[in-house]
Amino acid sequence: MRVLVFGGGQLARMMYLAGCPLGMHVRAVDVSKDIVINPISKAPSKLTLAEAIEDTDVITVEFEHVPERLLEIADQTGKLSPSIQSIRVGADRVKEKSLLTSLNIANCEHQIFDDVEALPDVIKNLGMPIVLKASRDGYDGYGQWRIKQPEDVQSVTKELAKLDLKRVPIVAEKMINFDRELSLVGVRSSDGKFAFYPLAENRHHEGQLHLSIAPAPQISTQLQQQAEQYFIRLAENLNYVGVLAVEFFQVGAQLLVNEIAPRVHNSGHWTIQGADTCQFENHLRAICGLPLGSTEFRSYTAMVNIIGGGSFSREMLGIPGCHLHWYGKSPRPKRKLGHFNVSGDCFSALGARLTDLSEHLPEEHFPLLTEGAADLQKL
């Protein structure tokens, strides 16, 4: 099977690696230049984009912000998976909120506006603190502004006044005082079968994912089921095929959906070492019409993102159960450069290994690691 991925970053790279043992050939498209590249070396292919589209069995995406023009071309070939409407919903917070509401899926109290003049009313209706999110093209916390106190209003108003809100409206959300963040990564096959990984606990710093722990500690059967029911409702409505990620805020025994991602997801990277079949392989299986692989977890696993920069030795690879996944990118502030997967037989063993790992890494780039490790050791 031949697969063409729109987007040439680390997710396409990990799909390529997962496809190799299955005899699949994965190519990527740099959508900013309309060129076909090798997902590992990034070397341009001899094929033009049109030729690569012709010469592939399936087209998929590694991120939702693919230009509409390219999505339409892909859709017209009948080879695009997941569907164009699934990708559009993931790319546009206005569409996403309206789908969640129409499917009766609990989400954050919110208000949408397309004129900066409406901001005072929005603040009055929702109350402070709120988070404002550009409805399109945001990721890793970019395109977001927080209003925590009246003094923040002026600077945020100035920022919003620079934008074309008629073209990209703003979704204002009440800031949720959640207990923790969770995500459900699951997969739906082309014949409508589902498989779910256990919920993962995700820890963010400055709007960006730093640490995922899977399975998330202390998850009741009811909570896992609630997450799966929301997932099924969304995926069936979208006639979804492939891996889908749903991000949640846990508030007591309730889950609120934060957002959905119509693709393989950073909070699913732990599955490479921690689950029977990783999310990348399962995505390829689903979109290629193959049976899904087991999503059973094999070991308690943490995924630690390597963000920004800083050089460090490779000594930590001596820690049992520690695996490095390096994406081959040059360092830049806030850029995801790679991740570690660390596994153990129980949470406290995993915590001890993460403590070892933290001793090899600079605290400024891994601000949540020490505390995350200590929390696991207490379990």
Residues 339, 302: Cα–Cα separation, whole Å:
10
Q: Does 338 bind ligand ATP (CB under 6 A)?
A: no
Q: Considering beta carbons, is residue 140 or 228 the nearer one to ligand ATP?
A: 140
Q: Which helix (H) or strand (E) holds 48?
A: none
Which of 81, 258, 273, 279 binds ligand ATP (CB under 6 A)? It is 258
Residues 6+ apart with CB under 8 A from 60: 3, 4, 5, 6, 15, 80, 81, 82, 242, 263, 283, 287
Please identify, among the stretches 10-18, 173-181, 191-199, 347-355, the one whose residues bind ligand ATP according to the rule CB under 6 A: 173-181
Taking the least distance from each CB to ligand ATP, the nearer of 93 and 188 is: 93
Residue 19 vs 372, nearer CB to ligand ATP = 372
Query: Please, what is the minimum distance in Å from the beta carbon of residue 159 to Mg ion?
Result: 20
What six digits make up the tokens of 268? 């699913």
Short-list 272, 179, 279, 261, CA closest to 219:
179
Q: Which two tokens stand for residue 137?
A: 């093209």
* Pair of tokens at residue 95: 């569409």
Beta-carbon count within 10 A of 112 CB: 15
Amino acid residing at 82: P
Residue 349 touching ligand ATP (CB under 6 A): no
CA 162 to chain centre: 28
Residue listed under structure tokens 């970053």: 9
Nearest CA-CA partner of 290 in 7, 93, 18: 18
Q: Does 94 bind ligand ATP (CB under 6 A)?
A: no
Task: State the maximum Cα–Cα separation within the chain, in Å, rounded to a whole number.
Answer: 58
Which among 130-138, 228-236, 285-293, 295-303 is the span making contact with ligand ATP, rule CB under 6 A? 130-138
Q: What six digits make up the tokens of 120? A: 């005072």
Binding to Mg ion in span 240-269, by CB under 5 A: 247
Q: How far is 335 from 305, CA to CA, in rounded Å?
A: 10
Answer yes or no whether residue 286 interacts with ligand ATP by CB under 6 A: no
Among 17, 95, 113, 141, binds ligand ATP (CB under 6 A): 141
Residue 104 and residue 259 in contact, taking contact as beta carbons nearer than 8 Å: no
Q: Which of 64, 181, 201, 281 binds ligand ATP (CB under 6 A)?
A: 181
Please work out the total of residues on this chain that contact Mg ion, with binding judged by CB under 5 A: 1
87 binds ligand ATP (CB under 6 A): no
Does 267 sit near ligand ATP (CB under 6 A)? no
Provide the minimum distance between the beta carbon of 266 and Mg ion in the complex, in angstroms, as a whole number: 9
CB of 285 to ligand ATP, least distance (A): 24
Give the binding range for Mg ion (CB under 5 A) out of 12-20, 239-247, 306-314, 360-368. Answer: 239-247
Residue 155 carries which DSSP code?
Answer: H
Q: In 3-state terms, what secondary structure has residue 66?
A: coil
Options 19, 82, 138, 351; binder of ligand ATP; rule CB under 6 A: 138
Which residue lies nearer to Mg ion by CB, 202 or 226? 202
In the structure encoding, which two tokens stand for residue 39, read together? 């997902």
Q: What does 129 bind: ligand ATP, Mg ion, none (CB cut-off 5 to 8 Å by kind)?
A: none
- Residues of this chain, 192-251, that bind ligand ATP according to CB under 6 A: 204, 207-209, 247
Binding site for Mg ion (CB under 5 A): 247
Binding site for ligand ATP (CB under 6 A): 108, 131, 133, 138-141, 173, 175-176, 181, 204, 207-209, 247, 258-259
